[in-house]
Amino acid sequence: MMKTEVEKKDKQIICTISSLKYSDRRCKGRNYMDTKRVRRLLVEQGHNPGDNLVQSTLDNKVDKLSGIWIFEDADYIKKEALTLEKTEPNLAKPRTSNRRKNSRKSKKVLDKSVEDVIIEE
């Protein structure tokens, strides 16, 4: 049995998870949580976690019974980036490919000249 608490504070998502001991009779198996699983849990709950600021692990079989994960709130970052960032037109010259074109290749002539040939017997 796991207890999960999620709260948003100051552009961050704070997730606290605690579990019962593995030997407790109310516990129904091993509980293991790492950053990847917590991120998936937050996405399923409708949050949008960004970069991980604080990470932890939870494993009730090894007696790590609680963990705290702190993520940046990606929704807030997107809104802030849109308001602060102004795009300027790109004045750089467009890149061209370095591949040689077929028209630039020299063509080799196999027969130097075409002559009429008369065969006599």
| 11-58 confidence digits (pLDDT tens) | 899 999 999 988 888 888 888 999 999 999 999 999 888 888 998 999
Is pTM beyond 0.75 here? Answer: no
Q: How far is CA 42 from CA 4, 8, 37, 54, in A?
A: 10, 12, 9, 15
Query: How, if at all, do strands 12-19 and 66-73 pair?
Result: antiparallel
pLDDT per position as a tens digit, 70-108: 999 888 766 666 666 555 666 776 676 666 655 565 666
- 7 three-class SS: strand
